[in-house]
Structure 1
Amino acid sequence: MSLIKYNSLPTYILLVLYILTGAIPALGSIDILAPQWVYFGSINFITAIYLIVNSDKFLEPLSRIFKSYFFWAYLILILWASISYFYAINKVETLINLPRYFNVFIACIFSYILISKVIQPILFITYVFGGFLLIEIVAYYNDFFDVYSSTEYFSLTRVKGVSGNKNITAASIAIKIPFLLYLINVTKYKLIKFISFSILVLSFLAISLVNARAAILSSSIVIIFYIGFFIVSYFKKNISLRPALVSISYGIVSFLLSFSINEFLATNANTNSFTNTVGKIQFNNEASNGRFDYWLDVYNHLKDNPVIGCGLGNWKIASIEYGKRHINGYTVPYHAHNDFLQFFSELGILGGLLYLSIFIFLFINLLFLLIKSKSMEYSLIYFILGCSLFVYALDASLNFPIARPLMQSSLILLIGMILYLINENKNFKLLFNTITAKIFFLLFLILIVLSTTIHIISYNSLTKQGKLLFEFNNNKFEMSLDELDQISDEFPNLTETALPIKAMKARYYYLNNLKDKAHKFASEGAKDNPFIYFPENLKGQFFFQEGNIDSAYIYSKVAFENIPRNKPHFDLYIKTLINKKNISGIENAFNKAKEVFGDDSVIWQLYLQALANTRNIGDPHAMQQAANAFNLFPDNQSIFSLYKILTYGQARMIEAEKIGREAVELYKNKSYDQAFILFKQANDLDPLDPVFPLNAGFALFESKKFESAISFFNLVIPTRHTAHSLRAMRYKALSLINLNKRDDACKLLDYLRIKGKKRMYFQEYDKYCK
C-alpha cells in the first residue's frame, strides 16, 4: 500500500464508522437511541481530532462548505434553536435535544469534507450503504425465522431487525434501495450484480412484511421514478433501447418477485399481504393513526406562537395542551410525526422555514445538476441521490427520523455526497489556512465534547429509568429509596414519556411515610411539565388518603378538567365529588368524560358507583342511567350488579344472594320443591338477575313440572344474558318434548343449533327432530 493510500485510510474508516451507528444495541438503556447518540457524538469527536491533525489536507473542502447555503442555513438554525433555551417550557429538554441536532449538523459537514478526499466517492458510499443494508437484512430475516420457528403465536410485530423497531427498520432499508439500483446498473462484476439484485429483492420483501406504509409508499414511488428515468433517458437519446430495458427490468423484476413471495407468505405463513397494506393507505385521520390530529395541533400551536414556538425538544410538552382531547391517559404525542412541522412548532416560522429550506436547497441543486447533465453516468448519480433524499423526506413528513440516529447516520452520508457534487465544479477562493482551519476544527471539537457529555448523562439516566417506568406501568411501587435516589431528577427531569421524574419519585416517598417530601416533589414536578397534570392528580391522591377532601377536590378537578381523557383523573375527581355529595358535579364530570371517551365501560362503571353512593334507591334518573349502561354492556358483571343495586338497593341484593346460595344447596341435595321456593323468593327480591328464574325453572324441570318450568324459562330467554338465554331456551325445548309438543320444541332446537353452534344442540336436534 502506498503512503498516500495509507494516509487516506482513516477517511474511509471514519465514513464507515458513521453508518455503523444503527448497529449499536441498547446497552441497558430503556431507549436504544441513547447509546447510539453517544456513539454518534464519539465518531464526531474522533473525526474532529483527525481533521485537526490533518487540517492542511482539507483546506479546499472546508473553504467550499463555508460558502455553501447549507452551512449557513443549518448554522443559523442551530443558533436559533440555542436561543430557544431562554423561552422553552422546559429548559433541560432543550439542553438534551440541542446536542443531537448539533452533532447531526457537524456530521454533515465532516461527511462532506471526508467524502471530498475519497476516490470514486459515489461508488464508495454505495458500497457503504450496501454493506450496512446487508447487515440489516441478515438481522431482519434472522429475527423473522426465529419468531416463525418459535412455539408462540407468529406475529410480525415481534420481528424488528437491527433497530428494534419495525418502522425504523423499514425506513432505513428504503433509503438505501436507490443505491442498490445504482450498483446493479454500474458494476461490471456479475457476482456483485447478482448479490445486489438478491439484496434488493429481500429489501422489498422485508419492507412489505414489516407493513410500514410510509416505506412501502416511498419504495414503490422510487420504482416508478426509476422506470420513468430510463424511459426519459431513452427518448433523450442518452441511452439505447436494450440497456434501457435491461435497467428497467432490474427494478420491475425485483419488485414483482418480492411481491409474489409476499403474497405466498401471506397465504401460507400468516404474514402481511402487500395488496392489503397498499389498500389501507388512505389520507384520513383514522388510516394515519391520528397523524392528522397531531398536525392540526401543530397548526393551532403555530397560530398562537408564530415567532418563537415552544422551545427545542419541548413539543412533547406543548402537544399535551393542544391534544388533550385525543391523547389517552399519559400517552402523549412525543413527536409531531412530521419533522418539518415539529421544527415549526418548536422554533416558530423562522426555524421551520430554515429546516425546510435545507431540503429544498438540496433538491433544487440536484434537479439543476440532472437537467444540465449531458452524461448518463452523472445523470444516474443525481437521480439516485434525489430518490434517496426523497425517501428520507417522505419519512420525515410522516414520522420522526430526526430523532433516530440510525436514520441520521444515513442522512449525513447522503447529504455529504450531495454537497460534494454541488460544490465539485464551483469556483472557490481559499478562505482558510492551516492555523485558521485548526482553530475552526478545535472549536467544533470543544462543542462536540460538551454535546457528547450531555448524551452520556442522558444515557446514564435512561439506564436507571427502566425500573421506575416498569413499576409505574404495572402499578407496583417496590423500588427502595436508595435505588430511587440514584435516578437523576434534575438532568433530565422528564422520562422519555414526558412524565416528571420528581413526581414519579413522590409516590415512593409517600409510601415510605415521607409525606412532606412527597408533596414537595409532586409540586416541583408540576413545573417540569405543566401540561401533563400527573403531579396535580398525585397530590389529589395524597390529600384524599389524608382525608383532606377539599384539597383533594381542588387538585383532582384541575387534573381532570385539563386532561379529561384520563381515567385516573376521572376516577379521583368522581371520588371527591361523592364525598362532597356534589350530584350536579358528578353529572357534569360524567358528561365531559363521555364526550372524550365515548361509551366506555370503565367510565360508566365509575359513574354508576357515584350514583349508588349519592342517589336514593329507586331514583328514576339513576335507574334509567343504570339501564342505559346495562344495554350498552350486557356482559359486564360489574355494571349489571350496579344496575341491580340502583334499582332495588344493596340490601335486597345481599338478601337475594343469601337465599340463592341456600337454594343451590337444596338443589344439590335433590330437594327440588324446596329449592324452587327459595329460588322464587330470590327472584322476587332481585327480578333483574336471570340466574334465579333460570334455577327455579331447573328445579321445576327436575320435579317434572314442565308447564311451570317453561313459564320461568320464558323470563330468561328475552334477557340480554346470552349464555343464560340459550340454556333457558334448551330446557324449554326439552320441557316441550316432555309435553309432546315436538313441533314447537324443534323450532327452538333448530334455532339453537344455528345460534348456539354447540355439538350438543345438533345432537339433540337430530335425536328429536329427524
Structure 2
Amino acid sequence: MANQVLEKAQTDERFVSTADRLTKVNVNDGSINRRITFYKAAVALAKQNPITGIGLGNYRVESIPYDLTTNLSVPLHAHNDFLELAAETGIFNSLLYFSIFVVLLFVNLKRLIRTKDNQVRNIALLTLLLLIVYGVDALFNFPFYRPTMQLCFSFLMAFTFVNTEKQIEDKTSLNKKILLGFVVLCVLPLYVTYQAYKTSKLEYLIQTDNINFAASGVLKGDDVVNLSPKIPNVFQSSEAFVEYAGIYYFREKAYDKAIKLLDSANKINPYLGRPNFYKYLIAAERGLPDSAYFYVKSAFYQRPISDNFFETATTLASSRRDTTEILKMYAAFPEGVTKPKSWSTAYFSLNNAGYSKAGLADFKALALKSFPKDTLVQKAISQLAITNYIIEGQRLFAAGKHQEALNTYERGLKLDPSNIYVNQNIGFYYFNLSKAGAAIPYFKKALALPGLNNGKTEFFLGLCYVNVGDKANACNYFKLAGNYPDAAKLLAIHCR
C-alpha cells in the first residue's frame, strides 16, 4: 500500500520505501564521525533537561552549536530516535519509548516459539521482521519523522495487538465511555497534525518563491505573517518562519516590520546568524555604516563558520582599519575548522587595513605551519607579495628612482610571470620613459591573459604602435579600446 501511494513521490526523499530507509544506513568513517557528534549533542542536551527535555522537535535548533564542522547544513536529527527523544522529551520518556520495543520483541518472540497456530506464528514472524527493520532504522536514522516508517510502526503495533489465538465471541460494541475516551484522546494529536500540515504547506510555498535569492515572490510579507503556524514555528531546516517573513519585508523595503520579525527569529533560533545578516543589509541600505558593521559582526559570531559572513565582516573591518577585529573573528573559528580560504580572506583584509609588516609576517608563518602545502595559501601569499611589489614600484617611479622601480616590478614578475598587472605596469613603465618598443611585449602579454576589459591597455598599446610607426596595429588597438577616453578621437585622427 505504501509503495503504491508513493509512486508519485519518488523524487521526495521524505517518502521513500521502508526497504530503502534501511539501505540508507551509512557506516563509512565520515558518517560514523558525524553520528558520534550528533549523539554527543543529544546526550549533552538530555543532561541539561533530564526531566522535561528541550521540547519535541527542538533538537534541530538547540543542537546547532554542537556541530560547527560545516556551514552547508545543520544537524537536524540525532540519527538515533531514542537519544533524540531523550534530548527533546526527557530521559524517562525516552526509556518508556524504548520499553515499547522491548515488550514487542518479547511478545512476538514468545508467540513465534510457543504458539502452535501457524497463522499466529506467521504474523508474529512478520511482526518481528518489521521490528528489526524499524529498530535498526531507529538506531541509525530518524524514522520517528518519516511517514512511511510510521506506517511500518503502525502495522507493527496493530499486528501485535490483534494476533492472538483467543477468538472474541462477544460481538457487542465497545463501551460508549471507552469509545468516547478514544475520541477525546485523538483530538490533541489531530490538532497538532493539522498545524503541521499547514506548516508543511507554507514551507513549500516559501521554497517555491526562492525568496533567499529572488527579489520578490508570489507571497508577500503580510501573507507569511498571516499564515505562520504556531506548531511548529521553524522549517525542516531549522529557520524560523518569521525570519522568512522578515526577508519578504526586506525585499519590500518595509524595514521596520522586517527588523521586528528578524528580532523574533533570533529568539527562536539564535544560532544561524541570518537574521542579523539581513539587519546588516537593512542598515547598509539605510546608510547606517556603524549599525551595518555591528550587525554583520554579530551574524558571524552567531555562526562562526560562515565564509560569507566572515568575508563581508572582514571587508568592512579592513575599510575601518580594524585589524584587531579581523584577528578576533579569525580566532573565533572553531578549532579544526579554520580553512585556507578563511586564512587568505583574513590575510588580504589585514593587509588592506594597514596591518604591520611584522604582523603580516607572523600571520603568514601561521598559515605555513597550519597549511604547509596548500596551493590556495601559497597563491594568496604570492598574490599579496606581487601587489606590494606593484605599489612599491609605482612609488619608486614617481620618486624618479626608475631603475629601482623596474627591479621591483621584475621581482613581482619572477613570482608569477603570468600576472597581468605586473606585465601591465612594466608596460606603463617603458611607455612613460618613451620606450614604446619595449612596452609593447608587456602590454600584449597582459592582454593575452584574462582579466582586463576596460580598454585602457588596448589604448596605450595603440599609442605605442603610433610611436613606432605601425599604423595598422595602432588602428586595430584603438578600435579594441572601445569607449576608453580619447580612443575614438585618436582612431579618427590616425585611421581615416
- TM-score norm. by structure 1 comes to 0.47
Where 1:691 maps in the other structure, the secondary structure is coil
Match of 2:214, as an amino acid?
F
Residues in 2 aligned to 1:450 and 1:320: alpha-carbon distance in whole angstroms: 29
Residues in 2 aligned to 1:173 and 1:564: alpha-carbon distance in whole angstroms: 36
Once the 2 structures are TM-superposed, how far is the Cα of residue 538 of structure 1 from its aligned partner?
2.6
Match of 1:164, as an amino acid?
D
Match of 1:172, as an amino acid?
A
Once the two structures are superposed, the pairs formed by residues 597-612 of structure 1 within 5 Å of their partners are: 597-601=337-341, 603-612=342-351
Q: 1:427 to 1:442 in 2, by over 3 A?
A: closer
Runs of 4+ in 1 over 6 A off after TM superposition: 426-432, 653-656, 678-681, 692-695
The count of corresponding residues between Structure 1 and Structure 2 is 410
Is 1:619 equivalent to 2:357 in the alignment?
Answer: yes
Once the 2 structures are TM-superposed, how far is the Cα of residue 294 of structure 1 from its aligned partner?
0.3
Once the two structures are superposed, the pairs formed by residues 177-196 of structure 1 within 5 Å of their partners are: none
Residues in 1 aligned to 2:61 and 2:394: alpha-carbon distance in whole angstroms: 48
Residues in 2 aligned to 1:21 and 1:532: alpha-carbon distance in whole angstroms: 39
Is 1:172 equivalent to 2:19 in the alignment?
Answer: yes
Which of 485, 509, 520 aligns to 2:249? It is 509
Q: 1:455 to 1:564 in 2, by over 3 A?
A: closer
Is 1:581 equivalent to 2:321 in the alignment?
Answer: yes
Structure-2 residue corresponding to 1:112: none
Match of 1:436, as an amino acid?
K
Which of 223, 242, 245 aligns to 1:486? It is 223
Which of 403, 410, 424 aligns to 1:683? It is 410
Deviations 1:501-554 (A, max 9, x none): 332343443344332222222112212323333212332343355454443444
Q: 1:379 to 1:311 in 2, by over 3 A?
A: same
Residues in 2 aligned to 1:575 and 1:465: alpha-carbon distance in whole angstroms: 31
Instruction: Quote the sequence identity (%).
Output: 23
Contact 2:340–2:377 at 8 Å: present in 1 too? no
Structure-1 residue corresponding to 2:66: 322
Residues in 2 aligned to 1:359 and 1:478: alpha-carbon distance in whole angstroms: 50
Q: 1:586 to 1:555 in 2, by over 3 A?
A: same
Where 1:593 maps in the other structure, the secondary structure is coil
Residues in 1 aligned to 2:189 and 2:180: alpha-carbon distance in whole angstroms: 14
Residues in 1 aligned to 2:172 and 2:56: alpha-carbon distance in whole angstroms: 32
* RMSD, aligned α-carbons: 4.0
Q: 1:426 to 1:558 in 2, by over 3 A?
A: farther
| Unaligned ranges ≥5, structure 1 | 1-15, 27-161, 176-206, 215-280, 657-677, 696-770
Q: 1:465 to 1:424 in 2, by over 3 A?
A: farther
Q: 1:650 to 1:310 in 2, by over 3 A?
A: farther
Q: 1:439 to 1:562 in 2, by over 3 A?
A: same
Residues in 2 aligned to 1:654 and 1:520: alpha-carbon distance in whole angstroms: 51
Higher helix proportion? 1
Q: 1:163 to 1:635 in 2, by over 3 A?
A: closer
Deviations 1:343-363 (A, max 9, x none): 111001122112111111111
Q: 1:495 to 1:652 in 2, by over 3 A?
A: farther
Residues in 2 aligned to 1:320 and 1:404: alpha-carbon distance in whole angstroms: 21
Structure-2 residue corresponding to 1:311: 55
| Unaligned ranges ≥5, structure 2 | 398-404, 424-496
Match of 1:339, as an amino acid?
D
Where 1:316 maps in the other structure, the secondary structure is helix
Deviations 1:95-135 (A, max 9, x none): xxxxxxxxxxxxxxxxxxxxxxxxxxxxxxxxxxxxxxxxx
Residues in 2 aligned to 1:449 and 1:378: alpha-carbon distance in whole angstroms: 33
Contact 1:311–1:346 at 8 Å: present in 2 too? yes
Contact 1:544–1:576 at 8 Å: present in 2 too? no
Q: 1:437 to 1:348 in 2, by over 3 A?
A: closer
Match of 1:307, as an amino acid?
I
Deviations 1:31-61 (A, max 9, x none): xxxxxxxxxxxxxxxxxxxxxxxxxxxxxxx
Contact 2:60–2:77 at 8 Å: present in 1 too? yes
Once the 2 structures are TM-superposed, how far is the Cα of residue 568 of structure 1 from its aligned partner?
2.7
Contact 1:302–1:348 at 8 Å: present in 2 too? yes
Is 1:363 equivalent to 2:105 in the alignment?
Answer: yes
Q: Choose between structure 1 and 2 for higher RCO, CA contacts under 8 A separated by at least 6 residues.
A: 1
Where 1:597 maps in the other structure, the secondary structure is coil
Residues in 2 aligned to 1:654 and 1:496: alpha-carbon distance in whole angstroms: 57
- TM-score norm. by structure 2 comes to 0.70
Which of 130, 153, 158 aligns to 1:388? It is 130
